[in-house]
Structure 1
Amino acid sequence: MDATDSMAGMDMAPQQEHNHGHGMYFCDGEPVMTEGGSWIGHFMPGVVFLLWGAHWMQGIYRKYFDSRRPKGPEYRAQTVHGLARVPAYVESWCKAFLPMIAISLELYFAHKGGWRTMVCPAGTPRAGHFYGPHMGNWQHASMYPPFILAGLVDLVGYEVELPYGTQQVFLFMAFVCETLLMALHKKHTPLDTAVHSVLMYTMAVTALFVLLELAQPRNFLISCGRVFGTLLQSAWFFAATHIMFDHAPFWDEEEGEDMGPAMFVPVVFVALIVAVLAAMMLVFLGFNTYYKIRDAQGAAYERAGLLEDDPRHAHSHTHSHSHAHCGAGAGAGAGAAVASPGAAVPLSTFASHSSAAAHTHTHGTSCQV
């Protein structure tokens, strides 16, 4: 009986260790005891979504303020936007090809060891098994292909008439895939769980607003929600980079024993929500001021142009010139007569003045004699 119990205890010990450990191993059989992913794997998406969200914001704001002008086009949501003289299809090209650079950084260029192999090679104790430390890199890299597909669909839409909302559907599914990857992401400690759960919420919010845009394409505030979700996602990627990889004492949870860092995560998240909303409002006010100044200048130029083209203004201008001409002529003639009262006036000159006066009286001009 004692021997049986002892053997049972020996069999259960490794299983308990496996259930309570991380459950990932190096190819030599050693367990993985460090955080998953990499610094660049969290920072790079933050940069991408920051630039993307800012680009969407300027495009959506411009379309909204253009729609408020007297003869402006109706506001309607779209998945891509132009920038100054850069056409909107450039965003589609960026969406289709720039994520390939991010994938190459995640799986190859950003690591000293080169290619992040997925399976342990032959000749190692765990040959054929997944290489545990690289699983986080592959999860992060798999976030990009759905966006590449969405960009390719945008490009196809420029040449082929797709059903209404096709581009929005593919963009929505890209954010859904991103959300699912983060929701199913392996978490190790309470802090790790809190950080990645919050990141999942930001992705889900962005996907939701993209779907709502499909149902309400003329609603400006829903489009702003897409911008908000994208910028918040970017902000939290930056926060996650600092929390997980900068190793500040403030975020040291002592292998899950200290719950303080995990409990402070919602405080940081709410602060970032307020910061993103405030930034969006400030940019909105900036656009509002710019369009007011531009419209006021345009109205002034338009009024000046109308005055120049007004026929009454032109007639008044000609009328005053006629008055000046006639007055000058009469004054000159009278001056000549007064200046030389005793001088003899040639008959031809007198006849010409008389003829001009008769012509003026007959045709009713403004010259008064």
Structure 2
Amino acid sequence: MEDTDSMAGMGMAQEHNHGHGMYFCDGEPVMTEGGSWIGHFMPGVVFLLWGVHWMQGIFRKYFDSRRPKGPEYRAQTVHGLGRVPAYVESCCKAFLPMIAISLELYFAHKGGWRTMVCPAGTPRAGHFYGPHMGNWQHASMYPPFILAGLVDLVGYEVELPYGTQQVFLFMAFVCETLLMALHKKHTPLDTAVHSVLMYTMAVTALFVLLELAQPRNFLISCGRVFGTLLQSAWFFAATHIMFDHVPFWDEAEGADMGPAMFVPVVFVALIVLVLAAMVLAFLGFNTFYKIRDARGAAYERAGLLEDEPPRHSAHSNTYTAQAAHCGAGVSATAVSAGGAVPLSTFASHTAGAAHAHGTSCQV
């Protein structure tokens, strides 16, 4: 009789969990939704800042390349911002995810460490602790980005093979995509929301790979920005859909398919919104550069500009640093005999050279 009651209880747990139950260490089923509001909102903030940062760097390089004596446009994985050199982005990529992992697995929880396996002495000793599986899945997305950041930093000291930084950034987004694709979900709405999130990650990874093949294609670089911003926008949308508990998104434990069917409508609307925002940003940069170039031409006609000093040496040194960082594959005649350029030497370049060329992972 007890076995029958136990089986009935398990059946109810499976019904509540839509066919794939998770359990506490005492054997009780997990009846609450996975994830948290802050756990979805904060990644949206991170990818928004990262996407906007990439956009300003890519747009600046593109408009600089259109100027009469501007350098050729080439894709790169990191960018500077004003007087902040590009290797700061590499440092952020390498070390900030470590903080995210510590929050995901320890500091953000009242119970402390999110143990993976139920301890001895509990009814489910040796089995996975169900409520913590989501934390471990989320935390496992960060190490590939840490590795990509560390490879960036190594590239400042060692001449890496052509496109190494791009490959590691691509693999970071691929790992993120795979983890989201294999993320076990519950109701149709939950599945739809996380499937769309997986698509945004896959799009970003695809454009990073295309940049490796077509480094001079500005539109492909814009595709990477688009994928990153779309991923951010969908994180914000998922936060609202899953955790704000508005009646509009109540699917009645999966019985109402309406919310899941409306997810693609929201996704398409966000695609249009992100594209429109990028077009407006492009027009803003275009206007800024036109005004700046017009003023520069007026000053030049009035004789208010000094003759431009020779730039061969600075350009050569900066390009050498780029090649050392990114494995750009330049010929031996284009790179000085030393090959790799130490980070200290690279950081000593003037702000102007850093702005024009940056610590670029050029391919």
Give me the identity figure in percent: 91
Secondary structure, counterpart of 1:170 in structure 2: helix
Larger mean Cα displacement after TM superposition, 301-310 or 91-100: 301-310
Q: 1:325 to 1:158 in 2, by over 3 A?
A: closer
CA separation in 1, counterparts of 2:67 and 2:219? 18
CA separation in 2, counterparts of 1:332 and 1:153? 15
Q: 1:185 to 1:368 in 2, by over 3 A?
A: closer
Based on CA coordinates, which of the two structures has the bigger radius of gyration?
Answer: 1
CA separation in 2, counterparts of 1:186 and 1:73? 48
Q: 1:257 to 1:3 in 2, by over 3 A?
A: closer
How far the C-alpha of 1:17 sits from its partner, in A, is 6.3
| Alignment of 1:364 onto 2:358 | yes
How far the C-alpha of 1:279 sits from its partner, in A, is 0.7
Secondary structure, counterpart of 1:117 in structure 2: coil
Secondary structure, counterpart of 1:288 in structure 2: helix
Are the aligned partners of 1:54 and 1:227 in contact in 2 as well (CA < 8 Å)? Answer: yes
Q: 1:132 to 1:12 in 2, by over 3 A?
A: closer
Unaligned runs of 5+ in 1: none
Are the aligned partners of 1:22 and 1:32 in contact in 2 as well (CA < 8 Å)? Answer: no
Q: 1:305 to 1:52 in 2, by over 3 A?
A: same
How far the C-alpha of 1:22 sits from its partner, in A, is 2.7
Q: 1:337 to 1:165 in 2, by over 3 A?
A: closer
How far the C-alpha of 1:21 sits from its partner, in A, is 3.0
Are the aligned partners of 1:22 and 1:31 in contact in 2 as well (CA < 8 Å)? Answer: no
Q: 1:130 to 1:337 in 2, by over 3 A?
A: closer
Secondary structure, counterpart of 2:183 in structure 1: coil
| Alignment of 1:11 onto 2:11 | yes
Q: 1:163 to 1:334 in 2, by over 3 A?
A: closer
Q: 1:118 to 1:347 in 2, by over 3 A?
A: closer
How far the C-alpha of 1:249 sits from its partner, in A, is 1.4
Q: 1:243 to 1:71 in 2, by over 3 A?
A: same
How far the C-alpha of 1:79 sits from its partner, in A, is 0.3
Are the aligned partners of 1:209 and 1:225 in contact in 2 as well (CA < 8 Å)? Answer: yes
Q: 1:115 to 1:297 in 2, by over 3 A?
A: same
Q: 1:191 to 1:305 in 2, by over 3 A?
A: same
Q: 1:319 to 1:354 in 2, by over 3 A?
A: closer
How far the C-alpha of 1:224 sits from its partner, in A, is 0.1
Q: 1:27 to 1:4 in 2, by over 3 A?
A: closer
Report the TM-score, using the length of structure 1 for normalisation: 0.78
CA separation in 2, counterparts of 1:18 and 1:344? 59
* 1:263-288 deviation digits (Å, cap 9, x = unpaired): 11011101111111111111111100
Aligned match of 2:350: 354
Larger mean Cα displacement after TM superposition, 22-31 or 286-295: 22-31
CA separation in 2, counterparts of 1:343 and 1:147? 27
How far the C-alpha of 1:106 sits from its partner, in A, is 1.5
Larger mean Cα displacement after TM superposition, 184-193 or 118-127: 118-127
Report the TM-score, using the length of structure 2 for normalisation: 0.79
Larger mean Cα displacement after TM superposition, 98-107 or 294-303: 98-107
How far the C-alpha of 1:128 sits from its partner, in A, is 1.3
Are the aligned partners of 2:17 and 2:186 in contact in 1 as well (CA < 8 Å)? Answer: no
Among 23, 26, 34, the alignment partner of 2:24 is 26
Larger mean Cα displacement after TM superposition, 316-325 or 298-307: 316-325
Report the aligned-residue RMSD: 22.6
Are the aligned partners of 1:40 and 1:106 in contact in 2 as well (CA < 8 Å)? Answer: no
CA separation in 1, counterparts of 2:5 and 2:328? 137
CA separation in 2, counterparts of 1:351 and 1:168? 22
Unaligned runs of 5+ in 2: none
Within-5 A mapping of 1:197-346: 197-305=195-303
